[in-house]
Amino acid sequence: MQFGNRKIIPSLPDVVLLRIFKHLSYKELCLAEVTCRRWQNLIHQKFRKQCTELVVEQMGYFHIEAALNVALERLTISCPFNSDEFLSGVMRRHHGWLRKLTCDVSFLANVGKLKLKKDTRKKFFTGCDNLWIVMLGCSDELLKEFAAIEEMLFLVSF
């Protein structure tokens, strides 16, 4: 959008952009964050304030859904077990400031396989102090995968 020779959207103040972002869905925010570094920073700032809990539901889902509940500060992700690329994006956006996590043990066992640009010495969920693990199905192989990555997940071992 231009006004004469001047582009309007890049010159909007952060406060105005945040008000616009307030009306976008989670999916639309994820698409908007790739526009430029400024938008990415603003959207991540918004996520830090509005999303302290992540719920990952994978059993029985055949397509990806994401719902951000601002009142509860909860992001609920519903996706099939083979949604590694999508979950990688969610983890890149949120893993650093989550306080609560609810997921299946298979999600935690497979976190190490997600494509994250993260220092390998850092833990995945450093600020998470409330964890609910749902055991929908468990095998010896899954438990071995979980045990192999457990020390990379949290500051404190359970």
Task: Kindly give, in sequence order, each residue whose CB lies less than 8 Å from that of residue 125, ignoring residues fewer than 6 positions away.
Answer: 95, 98, 101, 131, 153, 154
117-144, pLDDT tens digit by residue? 666 556 777 788 888 888 777 788 888 8
Does the structure show a pLDDT above 50 at 107?
yes
Q: What is the pTM of this model?
A: 0.78
Work out whether the CA dihedral 57, 73, 97, 131 comes out positive or negative: negative
Q: For residues 20 and 40, what is the distance between their CA atoms, to the nearest angstrom?
A: 14
13-60, pLDDT tens digit by residue? 999 999 999 999 988 999 999 999 999 999 999 988 889 999 999 888
Answer whether CATH 1.10.3470 is correct for domain 1-50.
no
Task: Kindly give, in sequence order, each residue whose CB lies less than 8 Å from that of residue 93, ignoring residues fewer than 6 positions away.
Answer: 30, 33, 44, 47
Domain with CATH 1.20.1280 in the chain: 1-50
